[in-house]
Structure 1
């Protein structure tokens, strides 16, 4: 359950105020699933977005990974301003973005902006000195032939979670947030991840692939690699949906991934 800023210990809030100056108000975020605390703070230093997990949370490593990767993905991502570890909490303070989630529906004006963001990211080499998940590790359980995972391998820094809530439109530019799962893999994979979200938003699979093809890295993907990836996405989202039959958006993504995989097979 999402906590409110006022629920944090007084000493934890004071540790943040040491960076920001007085905190006049806090507004809890109504989107996002991964943080126990996520809020916009109105401070003497201006608006700041803070997110965090308890230090004993099993996913607290994602906070530390996001902090480590931030210099490599700024300014596509909001700039990390500070990190606080106080009491039982790990908190990250970011530049506040005054934006809205991207619209992925057919004909939306945001689509070219998202494509530009994916193009920008596809040119970022995964830093050698940062421990990252490998895409072939993350998808190994969803690929039949172990040799096929080599088709996904690469040295590009990937985001992989292209939910519209992670793509904010700010001054006619797409900014990408929530870097909890930075991954190393082939340059075309973020565009391929986007395909599933586009289908879920109402695109036919062929039309979704046309949007993905606006990113130059898409042309580097062998047809076999796209087939393998689409099947892996189908199985991944089916597994996610099976574990949460009451959550409509997960069911929608599972259906979209199935539609794309069927299209690739035909």
Structure 2
């Protein structure tokens, strides 16, 4: 669960996208553009740029002279090992995904002294609408079942999800040890149950155990819909773990964004009744989904508590350079996850 994971694309005023900006194809050095065209085998004649996760990254759909189309990512090596490490992880995962995985095909990867570059097959699709269209959301929920049902995560030597998620799931302990005066106003129920939330988040490591593929970053802007299919993109955070993890980490973002004619968006400023409706929707949707139906309640509580605490604790920190809106996005998802926890409670029975 990275800072990138917690980006939300939503309609609510206080939950804008945390994507910082756009560099275009023409901003790349001429030597890099020439290398990409040589690898692709044709000259680039048109480009559509998209917001990227760092200020020095290019993410563009390129159309070539021969009619081929690629989605290309390029980033400066000087941005540091974390950025290049993300590219390296995405290449590794793309090469080890099994047939049938709803993901775009990696076309090629390049690296020189100054730039790292990836190219994926172009998808003739779009991001989901937000607030969510119920039919589109149903398609995505079905795709999550497909991701979790395909074998091979252990054979691909993906790292287990539990240790990383457990390392991040210490937010309630941080909020208890270093009290936030805003917590009572923001999430009063959580402020009155800090000790129980600290106990719940300690269960994340065990709750995550499993051998399923876990995308690790499912949200509205890592989903591409075509008329006949759903594709998940940005697999750099993939791991193996409990088959329901993507479902659990995805739903708080949907609560923030809302589902048309089903449940209204739940921004940070939402009143208690609206929060309760959003939390009840998340709980019911999880329980009704084939991946969530038989999950032990303690495991669900652990993971939802873990991500809620992570988001609310992280939202107190200064935003990374170029991502000034990230903390508002995290705060909103934390509030939504707490609304879900309020509905399911912190103990069995």
| Pairwise same-fold verdict (TM > 0.5) | yes
1:111 counterpart (129, 137, 147): 137
Residue 220 of structure 1 corresponds to which residue in structure 2? 294
Look at both structures and tell me which one has the larger radius of gyration over its CA atoms.
2
Residues 33-44 of structure 1 aligned to structure 2 (within 5 Å): 33=53, 36-43=57-64, 44=66
Indicate whether 1:132 and 2:150 are aligned.
no
Note the aligned Cα RMSD (angstroms). 2.4
Partner of 2:93: 69
Superposed, 1:88-99 pairs within 5 Å as: 88-99=114-125
Aligned counterparts of 2:334 and 2:318: Cα–Cα separation in 1: 11
2:35 alignment partner, one of 8, 12, 15: 15
* 2:334 alignment partner in structure 1: 254
TM-score normalised by L of structure 1: 0.89
- Counterpart mapping for 1:188-203 below 5 A: 188-202=244-258, 203=263
Unaligned runs of at least 5 residues, structure 1: none
What residue in structure 2 maps to residue 157 of structure 1?
Answer: 213
The farther-off stretch of 173-182 and 250-259 is 250-259
- The structure-2 alpha-carbon separation of the partners of 1:65 and 1:112, relative to structure 1 and needing over 3 Å to count, comes to same
Unaligned residue ranges in structure 2 (runs of 5+): 1-20, 171-197, 264-277
Contact 2:161 2:208 in 1 (8 A): yes
CA shift in 2, pair 1:134/1:80, >3 Å? same
Tell me which protein shows more strand as a share of its residues. 1
Deviating above 4 A after TM superposition, structure 1's stretches of 4 or more consecutive aligned residues are: 143-148
Greater mean deviation of Cα atoms: 170-179 or 99-108: 99-108
- Distance 1:191-1:199 versus aligned 2 partners, 3 A rule: same
**More RCO (CA 8 Å, sep 6+):** 2
Aligned length: 265
Q: Which residue of 2 aligns with 1:207?
A: 281
Aligned to 1:265: 345
